[in-house]
Structure 1
């Protein structure tokens, strides 16, 4: 697809926009609990007052959304340029990603800059996973494209295999939700894991499947992580555990579960929102949507 503006009217475009919208709500909702005045609301499960501002999770996801809806593809150079052009330091970017995007703006090749991070190992952070759900929603009818292009989108900033696998897992999960149909929680996690190569992330999803018997998110996060290490392995398995437990529930209950253990609450909630928002049952409650900052205009027009 090529056009001068995104086409949310197509089925794929509507799925991607729904995913992005729910991702932004999750991101903005989770970010409110880092505000000291809202910490008691976290414990009491009381909605924070608006407006809720979103973070780098939504800003980068908006670039992914625009890329796939405009082009039905992912060009890494074009995506890197979009990330760099819309980088707002005040949105809470991690220092390594912020530096990488500054170098891209100054003319550096994102491939070399991303590969040099962390002494050449590349970032294993959760940044590639937090932004990718709209891609999975858009390409839901072509799972091979989902896995291939999720990896392409990840490597623009995160080349470590764990980070790439985390992005693929989230994109596959979003695609499965977008396809609809009644899927058991264990089957859902099994299908996502089956799309990953052997490694720590796949093992993490298998652990999440085994922990579906745990009733509360705090107990699951104790074993899987809550994103506090800002690592894909510490974030994605728990986020997908939350999704699996709420495939037949409301988006709002899933987002409360996502933030219950603390940690990287905005990112976990963004991943959960983006995945569940890909499906017909992922509509955002008007009250929550009304408190959330509007999506960036440059992504929609």
Structure 2
């Protein structure tokens, strides 16, 4: 592993720039304005020109047993899990349905409304929630530390600019955004190596993440012919064609199986802040 160091002044400028990107929640007037904007956007959708896409992500074959997460070093976090304790989230199957599959229109979208509202990513009980998040390019992402201990958010995109933000205590929220489409952006916490999440960034709002039962639904899709892509961190990607009709319900499902395991998304170079030293280093894995 090779490490490259920036000088102190550059590091201070970088940390200042990252801090400028953060922010807390807006006041009540801002919240009311956001709600009014979302309501106006919803009212502007003509149901005679849009349809809905729904379906399932199915998993066939024997489901591998997920490895437990050792949180013994963080007793408060470990106490939040019952039964067998916290387990890895890279393959969650329930009654044949596969969770955490990011489904989106990858071809055919000619125009899209601007993003409204903010997406939420929480660090809770030493895990990211949700594990997979979809956002529109340029949309605010509010990242909150809900644990009363140190976390950091290390984003390692390829197309967008990465960031690494320290959140040393509960209640801290940082607002970030990615201006360009990118599927996927890996997120991790360098303090707790098991904490990983993925953010799918697309140029439109026609996306979804499958729930615990593998189901998804994408509403208000303009009529037309599209290509859909489904992404999963262990299964890679699958595509399908779909036609949306006015007022119609198009169904598209994706079938995964245990033989497709192993298509992990690579994590990018880590941007690491040396707390207390104002130095930044880029740790390259190759």
Question: Which TM class, normalised by the smaller chain length?
Answer: under 0.3
Say which one has the larger Rg.
Answer: 2
TM-score normalised by structure 1 residue count? 0.26
TM-score, structure 2 length as denominator?
0.27
Greater percentage in helix: 1
* More strand per residue: 2
